[in-house]
Amino acid sequence: MAIAGACTKGSKSSAPEMYEDSELAKLMRTMHDEQLAVKEAILNGETPESYPASYSHMTTSEPTENMEIGEAFKAYAVLHKASMDNLASSDSANLVENHNLVIQSCVNCHQDHCTGPIEKIEKLYIR
Protein backbone atom coordinates (compact mmCIF):
# COMPACT_ATOMS: atom_id res chain seq x y z
CA MET A 1 0.00 0.00 0.00
CA ALA A 2 1.34 3.40 -0.94
CA ILE A 3 1.27 5.97 1.82
CA ALA A 4 1.42 9.39 0.27
CA GLY A 5 1.33 12.94 1.49
CA ALA A 6 0.42 13.68 5.07
CA CYS A 7 1.61 10.42 6.56
CA THR A 8 5.12 10.43 5.16
CA LYS A 9 7.61 11.84 7.59
CA GLY A 10 8.96 15.17 6.44
CA SER A 11 6.67 15.20 3.41
CA LYS A 12 6.19 18.95 3.64
CA SER A 13 9.84 19.84 3.18
CA SER A 14 11.40 16.98 1.26
CA ALA A 15 8.78 15.60 -1.10
CA PRO A 16 9.59 16.53 -4.67
CA GLU A 17 5.92 16.48 -5.66
CA MET A 18 3.20 18.56 -4.09
CA TYR A 19 0.15 16.74 -2.85
CA GLU A 20 -3.25 18.30 -2.62
CA ASP A 21 -4.07 18.24 1.11
CA SER A 22 -7.15 16.22 1.93
CA GLU A 23 -10.01 17.58 3.99
CA LEU A 24 -8.96 15.27 6.83
CA ALA A 25 -5.32 16.43 6.66
CA LYS A 26 -6.43 20.08 6.95
CA LEU A 27 -8.71 19.21 9.85
CA MET A 28 -5.81 17.45 11.57
CA ARG A 29 -3.70 20.60 11.33
CA THR A 30 -6.52 22.57 12.95
CA MET A 31 -6.74 19.91 15.68
CA HIS A 32 -3.01 20.21 16.22
CA ASP A 33 -3.16 24.01 16.50
CA GLU A 34 -6.13 23.93 18.85
CA GLN A 35 -4.41 21.43 21.12
CA LEU A 36 -1.25 23.55 21.06
CA ALA A 37 -3.35 26.51 22.27
CA VAL A 38 -4.62 24.33 25.14
CA LYS A 39 -1.04 23.41 26.03
CA GLU A 40 0.02 27.05 26.02
CA ALA A 41 -2.91 28.09 28.19
CA ILE A 42 -2.07 25.37 30.72
CA LEU A 43 1.61 26.37 30.76
CA ASN A 44 0.53 29.97 31.42
CA GLY A 45 -1.38 28.74 34.45
CA GLU A 46 -4.76 29.35 32.85
CA THR A 47 -7.74 27.07 32.58
CA PRO A 48 -8.65 27.04 28.87
CA GLU A 49 -11.86 28.99 28.22
CA SER A 50 -12.98 26.55 25.59
CA TYR A 51 -11.85 23.20 24.34
CA PRO A 52 -11.22 22.04 20.78
CA ALA A 53 -14.30 20.78 18.98
CA SER A 54 -13.10 20.22 15.43
CA TYR A 55 -12.28 16.56 16.15
CA SER A 56 -16.02 15.88 15.87
CA HIS A 57 -15.64 16.18 12.07
CA MET A 58 -12.92 13.55 11.97
CA THR A 59 -15.14 10.71 10.85
CA THR A 60 -16.92 12.76 8.16
CA SER A 61 -13.89 14.43 6.54
CA GLU A 62 -12.53 13.06 3.30
CA PRO A 63 -9.10 11.44 3.80
CA THR A 64 -6.21 11.26 1.35
CA GLU A 65 -6.93 8.86 -1.47
CA ASN A 66 -6.14 5.21 -0.73
CA MET A 67 -5.99 5.82 3.00
CA GLU A 68 -7.44 2.96 5.02
CA ILE A 69 -10.20 4.57 7.03
CA GLY A 70 -12.31 1.79 8.49
CA GLU A 71 -13.57 0.33 11.73
CA ALA A 72 -10.25 0.76 13.55
CA PHE A 73 -10.18 4.46 12.67
CA LYS A 74 -13.71 4.87 14.01
CA ALA A 75 -12.80 3.08 17.23
CA TYR A 76 -9.78 5.37 17.75
CA ALA A 77 -11.99 8.37 16.99
CA VAL A 78 -14.41 7.30 19.74
CA LEU A 79 -11.51 6.96 22.20
CA HIS A 80 -10.22 10.38 21.17
CA LYS A 81 -13.63 11.93 21.79
CA ALA A 82 -13.73 10.31 25.24
CA SER A 83 -10.33 11.82 26.07
CA MET A 84 -11.56 15.26 24.91
CA ASP A 85 -14.69 14.97 27.08
CA ASN A 86 -12.46 14.00 29.98
CA LEU A 87 -10.23 17.04 29.36
CA ALA A 88 -13.20 19.40 29.18
CA SER A 89 -14.38 18.26 32.61
CA SER A 90 -10.94 18.62 34.24
CA ASP A 91 -10.32 20.73 37.28
CA SER A 92 -7.01 22.54 37.59
CA ALA A 93 -5.42 19.68 39.54
CA ASN A 94 -5.69 17.14 36.72
CA LEU A 95 -5.53 19.42 33.68
CA VAL A 96 -1.96 18.47 32.70
CA GLU A 97 -2.60 14.77 33.09
CA ASN A 98 -5.82 14.91 31.05
CA HIS A 99 -4.21 17.00 28.31
CA ASN A 100 -1.45 14.39 28.05
CA LEU A 101 -4.09 11.64 27.78
CA VAL A 102 -5.55 13.50 24.79
CA ILE A 103 -2.12 13.56 23.13
CA GLN A 104 -1.72 9.86 23.90
CA SER A 105 -5.00 9.17 22.08
CA CYS A 106 -3.75 11.16 19.04
CA VAL A 107 -0.57 9.08 19.04
CA ASN A 108 -2.45 5.78 19.47
CA CYS A 109 -4.44 6.32 16.30
CA HIS A 110 -1.39 7.57 14.45
CA GLN A 111 0.63 4.47 15.32
CA ASP A 112 -2.01 2.52 13.44
CA HIS A 113 -2.89 4.93 10.63
CA CYS A 114 -0.34 7.61 9.99
CA THR A 115 3.06 7.43 11.65
CA GLY A 116 4.71 10.43 9.94
CA PRO A 117 3.36 13.21 12.20
CA ILE A 118 3.96 11.36 15.50
CA GLU A 119 7.14 13.24 16.30
CA LYS A 120 5.29 16.55 15.83
CA ILE A 121 2.32 15.37 17.91
CA GLU A 122 4.59 14.25 20.75
CA LYS A 123 5.80 17.85 21.12
CA LEU A 124 2.31 18.62 22.45
CA TYR A 125 2.94 16.61 25.62
CA ILE A 126 3.47 18.64 28.77
CA ARG A 127 6.45 16.98 30.43
Residues that bind ligand HEC (CB under 6 A): 5-7, 21-22, 24-25, 28-29, 31-32, 35, 58, 63-64, 67, 73, 76-77, 80, 105-106, 109-110, 113-114, 117, 120-121
CB of 95 to ligand HEC, least distance (A): 16
**Cβ-based neighbours of 15, under 8 Å, separated by 6 or more:** 5, 8
CA distance 22 to 64: 5
Return the number of the residue (42 or 80) whose C-beta is nearest ligand HEC: 80
CA distance 6 to 64: 8
Q: What's the residue count for the chain?
A: 127
Return the number of the residue (37 or 77) whose C-beta is nearest ligand HEC: 77
CB of 34 to ligand HEC, least distance (A): 8
